[in-house]
Structure 1
Amino acid sequence: MPSRHTVADAYLNIAERIFQVVRRPMRPREIIIEAYAAGLLPPHLHGSRQDKTLHARLSEDISSNPDDSRFFRTAPGVFFLEEFRLDPTIPLISRDKFLAPRRRKELKRDSVLIVDLDFTSDLRPDKQTLSVSRLLDVLRAGRYSYRSVDYAMRSESSIVVHSFVVVHQNGMVLSFRCGKYFPSTDPLYGTRSIGVGGAIFPDDNDMLYHSMYGIIGNGINELRYGIGLPNRLAEVARYTNQVRPYIGVLVPDAIPKVVHVVMGYQCPDDFLPSKSALSINDLRWVDAINPTNNISDYDATSRILFQQDHVRELIRAGAPK
């Protein structure tokens, strides 16, 4: 009987040969169909769901060899050959690398960005909002650290920072239902929201552009993980300042305390947002002024943004000059 590694290598070699012929991203089931048609599957490779076996082998190879794998994902469950990523004859959309999202159920084990906010001076008189410039003052003063969410739950003065990117296009904003991979400590858990984002991790900070202590960097990463923003558009967003901080919102009654850094991103006309993570469901565009008759269905930050007319102002602030 052939060893597991021999079988894995055989499947990967077959996938490579199919990609070299068809020269486009494919799902494992498509690869298997093409392999049968070309007579490439030897007798020792068998099974009722060979596509699942191939999917597992491709995923394992990418995970085990992040810098040296022959393969990469262009979307969830869609694979292609690394050798074609710099081939100008391949459409750009087929060369964008999709990164599998962080498993957000493990959030409590990670170190996340936490700030020390003074309710008497840092927050506005409404005790709910915070100017971006004031938040930057807090960060520049060194009143932040990277600690566990468990720590934040035990500390009275600690507030976890989350990115909250409002994606908009032609007067509409993108909304979604939060899926099962949102941890129960996330204030968006179980709600509809207009904010793509999450907790800020140390590796979200990037010295090559103004990532705002990782807050903007995280927002762009979440756009990639959550709604499938291609790498080419993510790079443009990074280096041309397309994700713009607008306001901070202290989430009412959140445990641990959370401040959402609300940012705007004008969605390009050639990009169609799609569900790319298990944490996001039921994507739909809603009117920026009249989102729904049931505003209570939304998370607290989304309600504040709609009710205080921040959404329309955010869109106006992000419009091309």
Structure 2
Amino acid sequence: MDSYLSIAEAVLRLARRPLSSREIVEVAYRHDLVPSRLFGKTQHKTVGARLSEDILARRDRSLFFRSEPGKFFLREFLADPDIPEAYRSPIVARRRQRELRRGAPLAIRRANAVAAASALRSATDKLQLIIDTCQFHYSDPASDLSDPDELHVWSFVMFMRGPEVLTYRHGRYREGRDTFLKRRSVGFFTPVADKDLDLFDEGDHGIVASGLRAIAFDLDLPHVVFSGRFHSSPARIEDLVVAEDERGHADLLAVVSMECPPHFEPLTRRLAINDLSWMRLDVPINHIEDFDPWSQAVVQRAQRQHANSGE
């Protein structure tokens, strides 16, 4: 066997039922499928990580799927009537659930986005200017956004408790970009799409609603949390920020502020969201490089505005 993925494939084909990573390793050793060059005390963790990474990266093209949390099986058995139906029902990861409802992404021409973000206006006025001049449009969902002059719009929700913002560290299964992996973030973000727009969201093309749905998934918040009686002020767009990466690709972040309910303390560790903690935005950050690029752009801009206001 060439790799842990090959070993897992052979074991699952032999077992014809879902197995945990630990069970995969145990069966592999019983059938002498593990070469001597592959060794270690935590091989089951390596197998689990390799399988999870393959499913995350290859999606439906992966040979594997999860039949339940922690259990892996082969896609080749999905249509096999001799396999119990309970073994042939893939579960959908929470992050994937968010992505499945995506449609055509909301976009804007780069020059228009830069002009709007730099205008000396409130976020509401900037957004209204874009909407009034029909500068927002929806891109082809099958496109990889190869046009460098077009930016996708993301809802970037900051979960606030007075002057503090909820921060977290990106886990392995949340964000695939190297510049985000294991970095700290001050926002919960998601691309805005045509499916986010309904009769109640025409004023902002569904930016706020998409962000609230994203944070509900990420923090396991009940939908009632977003009702008006649970937080003192409604979620609102605070700023528009153009975030550019080292390759020159840029996105438009619609920074949304949402007040945390006073009784709510979201500090539970999750697979893709680690080390949740509160941080004051009005205090200089000593290690800004510890934050992901979007958080750096948002925090530095917010602190500049705070300093300029003289507050």
TM-score of the alignment, normalized to the shorter chain, above 0.5: yes
Q: Post-superposition shift, 1:116?
A: 1.8
* Cα displacement (A) at 1:189: 4.8
1:194 equivalent to 2:172? Answer no
Aligned residues: CA RMSD: 4.1
**Which of residues 206, 221, 232 is equivalent to 1:229?**
221
What pairs with 1:1-321 in structure 2 (closer than 5 Å)? 101-103=94-96, 111-118=104-111, 121-124=115-118, 131-147=123-139, 151=143, 153-184=145-176, 188-209=180-201, 212-236=204-228, 242-253=234-245, 256-275=249-268, 278-290=271-283, 292-310=285-303
Deviations, residues 196-250 of structure 1 (Å, cap 9, x unaligned): 1211122222313566101001111012011222211123389996111111111
For each residue in 1:12-52, what CA deviation from the matched residue of structure 2 results, as whole angstroms up to 9, or x when unmatched? xxxxxxxxxxxxxxxxxxxxxxxxxxxxxxxxxxxxxxxx9
Matching residue's letter, 1:218: S
CA contact (8 A) 2:165 2:278 kept: yes
Q: Matches of 1:160 and 1:117 in 2, distance apart?
A: 9
Q: 1:293 to 1:223 in 2, by over 3 A?
A: same
- In structure 1, how many angstroms separate the alpha carbons of the residues matched to 2:227 and 2:143? 34
CA 234–106 in structure 1, closer or farther in 2 if over 3 Å, else same: closer
Deviation digits for residues 116-151 of structure 1 (CA, Å, limit 9, x no counterpart): 24257434279xx99442233223433233335773
Describe the superposition over 1:66-111 as per-residue Cα deviations: whole angstroms up to 9, x where unpaired: xxxxxxxxxxx9xxxxxxxxxxxxxxxxxxxxx974517968x853
Report if aligned partners of 1:117, 1:138 keep a CA contact under 8 Å in 2.
Answer: no
Partner-residue secondary structure (3-state), 2:286: coil
TM-score of the two chains, using structure 1 as the length reference: 0.55
Q: Which segment drifts farther, 174-183 or 111-120?
A: 111-120
**Residue aligned with 1:180, SS:** coil
> Aligned to 2:145, what secondary structure does the other structure show?
helix
1: CA distance, partners of 2:69 / 2:145 = 43
SS in 1 for 2:189: coil
Q: Contact 1:191/1:297 (CA < 8 Å) preserved in 2? A: yes
In structure 2, what residue type is equivalent to 1:236? G
Residue by residue over 1:258-316, the C-alpha shift from the partner in whole angstroms, topping out at 9 and shown as x without a partner, is 11111111111111224586432221111222364211111233223333444985xx9
Q: Alpha carbons of 1:203 and 1:275: their partners in 2 closer, same or farther (altered >3 Å)?
A: farther
* Cα distance, 1:228–1:189 mapped onto 2, change above 3 Å: same
Aligned residue type for 1:161: V
Q: Report sequence identity in percent.
A: 23
Alpha carbons of structure 1 residues 217 and 241: separation in structure 2 relative to 1, 3 Å: farther
CA contact (8 A) 2:281 2:303 kept: no
Which blocks of at least 5 consecutive residues in structure 2 are unaligned?
Answer: 1-66, 72-90
Q: Residue 288 of structure 1 contacts residue 312 of structure 1 at CA under 8 Å; is this kept in 2?
A: no
CA contact (8 A) 2:245 2:293 kept: no
Maintained 8 Å contact 1:130/1:247: yes
SS of equivalent to 1:290: coil
SS at match of 1:258: strand
Residue 24 of structure 1: aligned partner: none
Write the distance in 1 (CA, Å) between the matches of 2:156 and 2:129: 19
**SS where residue 260 of structure 1 aligns?**
strand
Between the two proteins, the alignment pairs up a number of residues equal to: 219
Amino acid at match of 2:296: R
Aligned to 1:319: none
What is the one-letter code of the residue matched to 1:263? V
* Aligned-partner Cα distance in 1 for 2:179–2:97: 13
Task: Tell me if the contact between 1:152 and 1:257 (Cα under 8 Å) persists in the aligned partners.
Answer: no
1:115/1:144 contact within 8 Å kept: yes
Q: For the structure 1 residues 241 and 161, does the alpha-carbon distance in structure 2 shift closer, same or farther, using more than 3 Å as the test?
A: farther
